[in-house]
Amino acid sequence: MKFVKFLIAGTLFGIVMAKSEALSWFRIQEMFRFQSFHMYGIIGTAVTLGIIGVYLIKKFKMRDLNGNPIEIQLCFFQKKKQPKDI
Partner 1 sequence: MLEFIQQPWPWYISGALIAGIMFLLLFFGQSFGFSSNLRTICAIGGGGKFVKFFDFNWKTQIWNLVFLLGAIIGGFIAAQFLSTGETVKISESTISDLSKLGIAAPSSIQPSELFSMDAMFSVKGFFILAFGGIMVGFGSRYAGGCTSGHAISGLSDLQLPSLIAVMGFFAGGLLMTFVLLPLIL
Q: Is 1 in the site for partner 1 (CB under 8 A)?
A: no
Taking CB under 8 A as the criterion, the residue among 1, 59, 60, 73 binding partner 1 is 73
Supply angle C-alpha 84, 57, 80, rounded to 5: 20
Q: Is 82 in the site for partner 1 (CB under 8 A)?
A: no
- CA atoms within 13 Å, Cβ hemisphere of 42: 14
Taking CB under 8 A as the criterion, the residue among 59, 60, 61, 72 binding partner 1 is 72
**Least distance to partner 1, CB of residue 56, Å:** 10
CA distances from 82 to 5, 18, 38, 62 (A): 29, 37, 38, 21
Binding interface with partner 1 (CB under 8 A): 3, 5-33, 35-51, 53-54, 57, 64-66, 68, 70, 72-77
